[in-house]
Amino acid sequence: MSTAGKIRPKLTIRKFSEDAINSYMEKLDDIEYSYPSDQEILIHIDSYGGPVYGLFMLLDRLEIMSNPIVTYTSSKAMSAGAFLLAIAGNKGSRFASKDASILIHEVQTGAIGDIKDVEDSINHSKALNNRLLDKFAKAIGKKNAAQIREMIKSKVEGHDLTITAEDAKKLGIIDEVCSINIQPYKHWNIVKIKK
């Protein structure tokens, strides 16, 4: 498929803060308005992660778009970035460069306050965590959040599972290890890695 010279929309995700998410939403609105519904959109992830609320907001927005979504990380997709990489991309269109780092962990909470506030915060975080892990499980071909917890626990002693692109492919988080040539102003092409 030759797409050289063709303008193809892209959005780079670095943060999941409220301001960043609002900016992404505006850009997605512009893309949806400016391009036909069959035009692929590249979501380029270069992120250390961020708040789960921002991730859910972005996932919800991408889910209602009729455009095919391609996800890619060339450097790092950590925490919320890793979940976005796996969940938002259409099957067969989730990519990572060979040197990318992908980090997965469960939702973290910084609960403070009296005991009741902390308990409420923990219960809310558990519900968010289950929702996120269930979405992630579905995206990578697992049954549910419990299977994701077991996958993480079986591979690390701590809380974070950091993996290579090749390992991410084996786990079903991405579909292919390759490079995407991202040029200025909305040009991008998939470049297969030579073995």
Give me the domains of the chain, ranges plus CATH numbers: 10-106+160-192 (3.90.226.10)
Q: Is 157 exposed, middle or buried (0-12, 13-18, 19+ CB in 10 A)?
A: exposed
pLDDT band at 164 (very low <50, low <70, confident <90, very high): very high
Q: Taking the model in full, what pTM does it have?
A: 0.87
SS3 content of the chain, % helix, strand, coil (to 5): 40, 25, 35
- The residue-averaged pLDDT of 11-36 equals 94
* pLDDT (tens digit per residue) in 47-61: 999 999 999 999 999
Buried b (16+ CB within 10 A) or exposed e, 129-155: bbebbbbbbebbebeebebbeebbeee
pLDDT score of 1: 39
Nearest by Cα to 160 from 106, 84, 105, 107:
105
The torsion angles phi and psi of 124, rounded to 5 degrees, stand at -65, -45
* pLDDT (tens digit per residue) in 172-190: 999 999 998 877 655 666 6
| Residues involved in catalysis | 79, 105
Task: Identify whether the C-beta of residue 84 lies closer than 8 Å to the C-beta of residue 104.
Answer: no
Indicate if the pLDDT at residue 138 is higher than 70: yes
- DSSP letters, 80-146, are HHHHHHHHHSPTT-EEE-TT-EEEE--------SSHHHHHHHHHHHHHHHHHHHHHHHHHHT-SSHH
Task: Identify whether the C-beta of residue 90 lies closer than 8 Å to the C-beta of residue 69.
Answer: yes
pLDDT score of 136: 92
pLDDT band at 7 (very low <50, low <70, confident <90, very high): low
